[in-house]
Structure 1
Amino acid sequence: MSRRAGDVAGTAVRRGAVWTAALAVASVAFSTPALAHAGSLAGSLRSVPAPFWLVVVSGGGVVCVSFLLSAFVTDDETLDAFGRAGVRIGGLAGVVATAEAALKLLGVAALVLVVAFGLFGPPVGIANLGVLLVWVGWWAGFTMVTYLVGNAWALVNPWRTLGATLRDRVAAVRGLSRPYPDQLGSWPSVAGLLGLVWLEVVSPLAVNPRALAAVVVAYSLVTVGGAVVYGDAWFRRADPVARVFRLYGLLAPVRRGDGGLSISVPGAGLTRTRERLGTDDVAFVVALLWVTTLDGLVVTVAWGRALDAAGAVPAWLVNLAGIVAGFLVFLGGYRLAASVARGTADTYVTVGFVAGWFAPALVPIAAGYHLAHFLGYVVGLAPALVAVAASPLSPPANPSVLAAPAWFGGLQLAFVVLGHLLSVWVAHARAFGLFPGRLQPLRSEYPFVAVTVCYTMASLWVVAQPTVGGVAG
């Protein structure tokens, strides 16, 4: 192949980024403000039927009590045994290899279906297979499977499959393959995650199949281009979607090993990992925690009132400012906790090291809130997905949607609190893996328990808020 072809392929990432930005601007300019995330497909979520002050206070109290109870378990051997407990299932090399090939093919086929039905299918989101596959089947359902069961995204990921195939075919092109720039770190994934969520909020992606297809195509160009140029490093450092699923996979009980599977205690992967996250990786974990909270916040009456109070300021700008400000508040609170923890633990370990060491403990909080927000959503829209998938070319005009029962609000609260309880336990185990003795690890946890209580109260406040079109809790 010619040098010119290599140069063209080498600029795929830059061109894709320009196209993505252009689509974002166009979607903002030519659409009315809408709650365009997944929840706008149907009103399957309801606020919690309890006074929100009671919900907030009781939830924070549960987290404090859980820390006091975990403080009694201060034996290194017990903590290590708990983290390593599990069952290994071997002799599955052939089955695993076949499953891997099938999952790769399934991922590429799903991507083709999403784009095809987004461009040429029914114009109504609830009746479009592409829209339902993205929001119900993938972002809600598949994500839940990732942290509740196991992470298969590395195999399903269609962009990774396509990128690896293209990279192998054009590997001989001089100057095409390049090392990932270390100076960028993981910051592109932080900006990418916040940017995708902002685009999700301000654009009609859940109700406009054409807009969704355009964004998917643009994202595919950027991601496949990055994979061709930088290889697997693109998915480890820059791709926000791959990084989200990797973190959630560490929480899951089932993990893939050499020639088989291992089943362990949920969260054990987060306690076992010995890697200390850098500043950029910590920012990504906090961003994940913030955007899961934001998913519920943007459908509340409180968020709508904030948009109304902005007056003549464009809604897209208010949303952007809110997303960035919320992320900075969450990140600042966590960094403050790390700084205080260094003092309470009386250690010479740097603040950056402490922040990176305890950051994996935030993942269960994000997963718990995702489960609370999306389980009712999946249950409510599952009949619509089945009906449309059975006849995608001529779907029913008004697919059935299930309404969540009144008691489901209490279940949402339970998921949020359980995520925070697991977070406290992971932080407890990691503290004893870093600091010696029994008192120093406990003292290092005090600030993190405090910030976890604040995160809990904020999350429960969001869950307890009345949603747009809903009733007050």
Structure 2
Amino acid sequence: MSSISAHGLGGADDLPISGSLAIVGGTAALAISFVVLLLAWRQPRFGRAGHELAVPPPIARVLDGSWFRAGLRVMGIAFLAFMLWPALLGRNDLANPLLGVTYAWLWVGLVPLSLLFGPALRAMSPVRTLAELLDKGTGRSGGEGVVPYPAALGYWPAAIGLLTFVWLELISPSSTDVGVVRLWFAFYLAAMLLGWAVFGTTWIGRADPFEVYSTLVGRLSLWSRSASGRLVLVSPLRNLSRLRPEPGLVAVVAVLLGSTAYDSWSSSATWIRYVQSNEVDVTRLGTALMVVIILVVGTTFAVASMTTAVDTRRSARKELPRRLAHSLVPIIVGYMIAHYLTFLVEYGQQTLIQMSDPVGSGANLFGTADMEVNYWLSQNPTVLASIKVLAIVVGHVLGVMAAHDRAISLLPRRHHVVGQLALLAAMVGYTFMGLYLLFGS
């Protein structure tokens, strides 16, 4: 039986080169890419209008058709209904597919799903479907709430929701207790529907942690909408640059990046030796450490972003972190791939096997109960380690490209170099720490 915590990070010995060389090489590649960008990329490109490829009308009609959208909604509701079976009647152990669906399919699986298809969760979200049905049942039009959603609230509710989820997954001693996971989702659904009742469906787009997470990652997909609402294909970084800089966005990316960094550190030999050799409350210590890491990530990025300002007005400086926050999304994706690839592939297969027997009755509903997990990735550590290094380095290089393009659109030409140095230093630091935590700790 696979363990729910078997993230399979590997180690420095898995690399065809030394861990220290990988760290130095990765950070050097980031610095060199920045220099190349300064020399070759002197005008902002991603903010320009156009540069879109219209999806062929027959395909667009299908994807935008009411039947296709309804089909996705039905699939989402049907899957939720099925998962209520093991959630309410299944065994309280690792054989319950609720755990794998939550931690592998939903949390990690959202990354490849959103990269391929855009904000996929929004299209099939059971929460949105329930809200739309309630809108029709109560006669509310346009998803309007009792009061307008406060603009100042932005993505802060999603940041809080994400923090509670990663705490449950990474720190809570009851993370594999089916009853506790079921209770978390009950509170999550209640919070979404209560917010919907007050603020309308805008609340879901700003407060649902999974939808916000999927939408952020989906900005790196090829799928987008033109200003007129037409379905188009666009380069991922151009698509990413269209993310609206709303309040709370920095908090969301800080939670995503910081929690993954904490997970890497908590899996390290150094941390494990410390915990085993000291009488400490691991839950409290882990909570404090994760919060500190998230705060460090958010603070360093905010400070580095604000130093790019030429305008000394406080209001102008405060806007910069959220206007540059989109550049952390490729880094988050790189971290997620590097850290959770093995977990998704191997525990995801185990979950597929368990889905055929949702309550442990010996059933084989989908014919997958007799399948065996393929451990090819774990059995080829050099390939796995190379993928991890590439994911982190490529993610950071794409992040630097996104930040550079936005920075030169905000800065006068004479400040293009000096104005970006603090932001470059922060990203080099993230690269160094990411590779160190993955291979050197």
Whether TM-score is above 0.5 comes out as yes
Aligned equivalent of 1:135, options 103, 106, 127:
103
Q: Mark the runs of 5 or more structure 2 residues left unpaired by the alignment.
A: none
SS at match of 1:270: helix
Cα deviation, 1:365-411, whole Å, max 9, x if unaligned, reads: 11111111222222223432333334545365995352522111121
> What residue identity is the alignment partner of 2:434?
S
Whether the 8 Å CA contact 2:86–2:98 is kept in 1: the answer is yes
Whether the 8 Å CA contact 2:264–2:339 is kept in 1: the answer is yes
Structure 1 residues 230, 78: CA separation in 2 closer, same or farther (over 3 Å shift)? closer
Q: Structure 2 length as normaliser, TM-score?
A: 0.85
Partner residue, 2:222: 253
More divergent stretch after superposition (280-289 vs 298-307): 298-307
Deviation at 1:295, TM superposition (A): 3.4
More divergent stretch after superposition (41-50 vs 226-235): 41-50
Whether the 8 Å CA contact 1:388–1:399 is kept in 2: the answer is no
Aligned equivalent of 2:415, options 427, 437, 440:
440
Aligned equivalent of 2:301, options 326, 334, 337:
334
d(CA) in 1 for partners of 2:55, 2:209 = 31
SS at match of 2:53: strand
Structure 1 residues 254, 431: CA separation in 2 closer, same or farther (over 3 Å shift)? same
Deviation at 1:75, TM superposition (A): 4.2
d(CA) in 2 for partners of 1:151, 1:205 = 30
d(CA) in 2 for partners of 1:318, 1:133 = 28
d(CA) in 2 for partners of 1:320, 1:460 = 23
Whether the 8 Å CA contact 2:222–2:233 is kept in 1: the answer is yes
Partner residue, 2:183: 214
Partner residue, 1:458: 433
d(CA) in 2 for partners of 1:128, 1:221 = 23
Cα deviation, 1:260-297, whole Å, max 9, x if unaligned, reads: 63222222212244x4443x322222222212323333
> What residue identity is the alignment partner of 1:216?
F
> What is the correspondence of 1:75-90 to structure 2 with a 5 Å cutoff?
75-76=42-43, 85-90=51-56
Structure 1 residues 411, 114: CA separation in 2 closer, same or farther (over 3 Å shift)? same
Aligned equivalent of 2:27, options 47, 60, 63:
60
d(CA) in 2 for partners of 1:371, 1:234 = 29
d(CA) in 1 for partners of 2:155, 2:145 = 22
SS at match of 1:252: coil
d(CA) in 1 for partners of 2:138, 2:274 = 51
SS at match of 1:72: helix
Whether the 8 Å CA contact 1:167–1:229 is kept in 2: the answer is no
Deviation at 1:428, TM superposition (A): 1.3
2:234 matches 1:267: no
d(CA) in 2 for partners of 1:178, 1:236 = 16
Partner residue, 1:153: 121
Deviation at 1:336, TM superposition (A): 2.2
Whether the 8 Å CA contact 1:301–1:465 is kept in 2: the answer is no
Structure 1 residues 267, 213: CA separation in 2 closer, same or farther (over 3 Å shift)? same
2:320 matches 1:354: yes
Structure 1 residues 78, 119: CA separation in 2 closer, same or farther (over 3 Å shift)? closer
RMSD of equivalent CA atoms: 2.9
Structure 1 residues 208, 78: CA separation in 2 closer, same or farther (over 3 Å shift)? closer
Deviation at 1:54, TM superposition (A): 2.6
> What residue identity is the alignment partner of 2:10?
R
> What is the correspondence of 1:66-465 to structure 2 with a 5 Å cutoff?
66-76=33-43, 85-91=51-57, 92-97=60-65, 98-125=67-94, 127-170=95-138, 177-182=146-151, 184-203=153-172, 207-256=176-225, 261-273=231-243, 275-278=244-247, 280-308=248-276, 311-312=279-280, 314-342=281-309, 346-348=310-312, 350-392=316-358, 394=362, 396=369, 400=373, 402=375, 404=378, 405-407=380-382, 408-437=384-413, 439-465=414-440
d(CA) in 2 for partners of 1:209, 1:171 = 37
Cα deviation, 1:50-74, whole Å, max 9, x if unaligned, reads: 4443332221111101101111223
Structure 1 residues 309, 338: CA separation in 2 closer, same or farther (over 3 Å shift)? farther
Cα deviation, 1:348-374, whole Å, max 9, x if unaligned, reads: 463212222211111111111111122
> What residue identity is the alignment partner of 2:219?
L
More divergent stretch after superposition (287-296 vs 352-361): 287-296
Cα deviation, 1:208-248, whole Å, max 9, x if unaligned, reads: 33332222222112212222322122123333222222211
More divergent stretch after superposition (246-255 vs 357-366): 246-255
Equivalences, count: 418
> What residue identity is the alignment partner of 2:426?
V
Structure 1 residues 315, 242: CA separation in 2 closer, same or farther (over 3 Å shift)? same
> What residue identity is the alignment partner of 1:42?
A
d(CA) in 1 for partners of 2:388, 2:50 = 30
More divergent stretch after superposition (244-253 vs 364-373): 244-253
> What residue identity is the alignment partner of 2:76?
G
Structure 1 residues 431, 401: CA separation in 2 closer, same or farther (over 3 Å shift)? same
d(CA) in 1 for partners of 2:311, 2:3 = 45
Q: Structure 1 length as normaliser, TM-score?
A: 0.79
d(CA) in 2 for partners of 1:198, 1:235 = 21
SS at match of 1:353: helix
Structure 1 residues 400, 41: CA separation in 2 closer, same or farther (over 3 Å shift)? farther
Deviation at 1:116, TM superposition (A): 2.0
Cα deviation, 1:97-140, whole Å, max 9, x if unaligned, reads: 23321111122222222232122124332x32322222222212
Deviation at 1:171, TM superposition (A): 5.0
Deviation at 1:425, TM superposition (A): 0.5
> What residue identity is the alignment partner of 1:443?
V
More divergent stretch after superposition (290-299 vs 214-223): 290-299
d(CA) in 1 for partners of 2:427, 2:164 = 25
Whether the 8 Å CA contact 1:186–1:281 is kept in 2: the answer is yes
Matched residues, percent identical?
A: 24
d(CA) in 2 for partners of 1:205, 1:171 = 41
d(CA) in 2 for partners of 1:58, 1:39 = 33
Structure 1 residues 39, 328: CA separation in 2 closer, same or farther (over 3 Å shift)? farther
SS at match of 1:255: strand
2:6 matches 1:42: yes
